[in-house]
Amino acid sequence: MSIDGDVPGLVVVGGSDAGIMAGLWAKLTNAELPVTVVVRDAYPNFSICGLPFYLSGETPEWQMLAHRTVSQLEDAGLRLLLGHEAFAIDPSARTVHLRDPEGDCHDLAYDRLVVGTGARSIVPPLPGVGLPGVHVLHTIDQARELDLAIERGARRAVLIGAGYIGTELADALTRRGLEVVLVEMAPAVLTTFDPDLGELVGAEVRRHGVSVRTSTTVERIAADEKGLRVLGSRGLDTPADLVIVAVGVRPETDLLVSAGAATGARGAVIVDAGMLTGLDDIWAAGDCVQTHHVLLDSPSYLPLGTTAHKQGRVAGINAAGGHASFAGSCGTQAVKVFDLVAARTGLRGGEAAAAGYQPVSVTVTADDHKAFYPGATPVHVRLTGDRTTRRLLGVQLIGAYGAEISKRIDIAATAIHAGHTVDVLSDLDLSYTPPLSSPWDPIQVAGQAWTGSVT
Ligand SMILES: Cc1cc2nc3c(=O)[nH]c(=O)nc-3n(C[C@H](O)[C@H](O)[C@H](O)COP(=O)(O)OP(=O)(O)OC[C@H]3O[C@@H](n4cnc5c(N)ncnc54)[C@H](O)[C@@H]3O)c2cc1C
């Protein structure tokens, strides 16, 4: 059976960052092109990145997480098939097989197809991980379930994994009044930062009453009449009303792989710079594909909303007959945890060495703005450059919320993207007024320290 009114054109599978960007940019490129977006759930164009702030209560209603409403998307020319799951693609017949909300199956013809099926949370095979009360967080429905559990009286939470989602959730659940235990296998929280910098965030989390158990591996989850217990190495035995597993994501590639697409880094689908898979007229974007990293020769997997937006745009333009290519990422990310912000871009020293660079790193601390104006706070900067080429390779920043940490990392991200040397940082014409900065921004202070040490 075909979907009523089915007109081949562009079909997009996935209605989050990548899929919606693809649909909207396709319409901007060719307003006449029929664009149908197939979405498994009922939440097109919602901010997954906003889920921790809904759970904290800072964003009181989940509906507020919509980047655009359904009617705004329809006004932009997208036909939405909500609650429809694509379960197979037939590339030779140019058809997507769908299951509708009633469970009936339909075929949807396409001329061109973009797949943005995203990622799903990794659930390690721990005994007890399937017990009621054990959650993951990747969708609106999962966030609403968690919210309900809190509303029904959950008071003790154990978070497994202290990456950026685990630390954001430690903040969120503490704000909701829960007692939180944060368990991390690595020696410090925020494993995408050097451990001594991650520890600054660890101290911030502890300062707000969270119990942080680093170098600790969860081995099993048990249930008794009093609730859940999380057990692991180093004597971990913690009671909980709810447990959230936040140990990363894996690309959702079943559709593309069964249609014949090849996979690469971390099992993500291989695409070219135009986001074309190896399959005829099938593009893919976002968390389901691997990413070109501007500093690495090898492909990487960087499941981030920023990347999904850019890749979705490129896929949509190309699928609509335009010409665009994805320029690559440098792994820029920022996270706010209580009153601190941690941000990074590019490679850390160890990552750079593993990629064949000759990294030299310096660490400086500089005020975010002139000390004579009230409220100055320290910004910790670790800057890494290549000894031979002097190319800027990476920056990690930790500082107070309000100290413009994320926009400061964007200076470094821009410089890396442009292929600048560390020395060029001092030439950049950055803004200055005493309440906001200094004549030399902390990024430039770090650059000068590096330049002075690598002669
Ligand atoms: C809690 C949390 C916080 C985050 N915070 C940040 C942040 O601060 N900054 C940042 O850059 N990134 C952040 N991310 C990552 C970011 O949310 C993802 O990188 C981004 O959502 C990826 O977008 P996507 O469109 O590729 O995939 P997803 O958002 O995973 O969406 C996949 C879409 O495909 C649909 N779908 C999947 N399979 C099918 C199917 N078979 N048929 C039909 N539809 C299907 C889904 O319903 C969904 O609409 C966060 C992620 C989480 C979980």
Give yes or no for a contact between 360 and 65, defined as CB atoms under 8 angstroms apart: no
* 289 alpha carbon – ligand 1 mean position (Å): 12
Q: Model-level pTM?
A: 0.96
pLDDT above 70: percentage of residues in the chain? 98
Question: Please, which pLDDT band fits residue 297 given cuts at 50, 70 and 90?
Answer: confident
Query: pLDDT tens for residues 346-399?
Result: 999 999 999 999 999 999 999 999 999 999 999 999 999 999 999 999 999 999
Residue type, 405: I
Query: pLDDT tens for residues 65-99?
Result: 999 999 999 999 999 999 999 999 999 999 999 99
Question: Is a pLDDT exceeding 70 seen at residue 3?
Answer: no
Q: Which residues contact 195 (CB under 8 A, 6 or more apart)?
A: 186, 187, 188
Cα–Cα distance, 368 to 256 (Å, whole number): 47
Rounded average pLDDT over 406-420:
98
Give yes or no for a contact between 261 and 248, defined as CB atoms under 8 angstroms apart: no
Question: Is a pLDDT exceeding 90 seen at residue 61?
Answer: yes
Is 303 in a helix, a strand, or coil? coil
Residue 376 token pair: 């100055």
Question: Please, which pLDDT band fits residue 4 given cuts at 50, 70 and 90?
Answer: low
Determine if residue 250 is left, alpha or beta; phi over 0 gives left, psi from -120 to 50 gives alpha, anything else beta: beta
* 249 alpha carbon – ligand 1 mean position (Å): 10
Question: Is a pLDDT exceeding 70 seen at residue 1?
Answer: no
Residue 97 token pair: 């097989």
pLDDT of residue 2: 52
Rounded average pLDDT over 280-304:
95
* 185 alpha carbon – ligand 1 mean position (Å): 25
Give yes or no for a contact between 390 and 454, defined as CB atoms under 8 angstroms apart: yes
Q: Kindly calculate the radius of gyration of the chain based on its CA atoms and give it in whole angstroms.
A: 23
Closest to 394 (Cα-Cα) out of 351, 423, 365: 351
Question: Please, which pLDDT band fits residue 8 given cuts at 50, 70 and 90?
Answer: confident
Full strand arrangement of the beta sheet holding 359-367:
333-337, 340-346, 392-400, 378-386, 359-367
Strand partners, 289: 269
Question: Please, which pLDDT band fits residue 455 given cuts at 50, 70 and 90?
Answer: confident
Cα–Cα distance, 271 to 279 (Å, whole number): 10
The runs of H, that is alpha helices, within 155-194 are: 164-175
User: Distance from first CA to last CA of the chain, Å, rounded?
Assistant: 71
Mean pLDDT of the chain: 97
Pocket around ligand 1 at a 6 A CB cut-off: 13-19, 38-41, 48-49, 51-52, 85-86, 116-119, 137-138, 165, 252, 255, 286-287, 303-306, 308
Question: Is a pLDDT exceeding 60 seen at residue 115?
Answer: yes
Q: 256 vs 134, 251, 268, 354, 383, CA distance in Å?
A: 30, 11, 10, 31, 39
Query: pLDDT tens for residues 125-139?
Result: 999 999 999 999 999
Mutate to test the pocket of ligand 1, among 3, 17, 110, 254 (most ligand atoms within 8 A of CB): 17
Rounded average pLDDT over 187-200:
96
C-alpha 47, offset from chain centre:
11
* 138 alpha carbon – ligand 1 mean position (Å): 7
User: What DSSP string runs through 159-207?
Assistant: EE--SHHHHHHHHHHHHTT-EEEEE-SSSSS-TTS-HHHHHHHHHHHHH
Q: Which residue has the tokens 């410089």?
A: 415
Question: Is a pLDDT exceeding 60 seen at residue 449?
Answer: yes
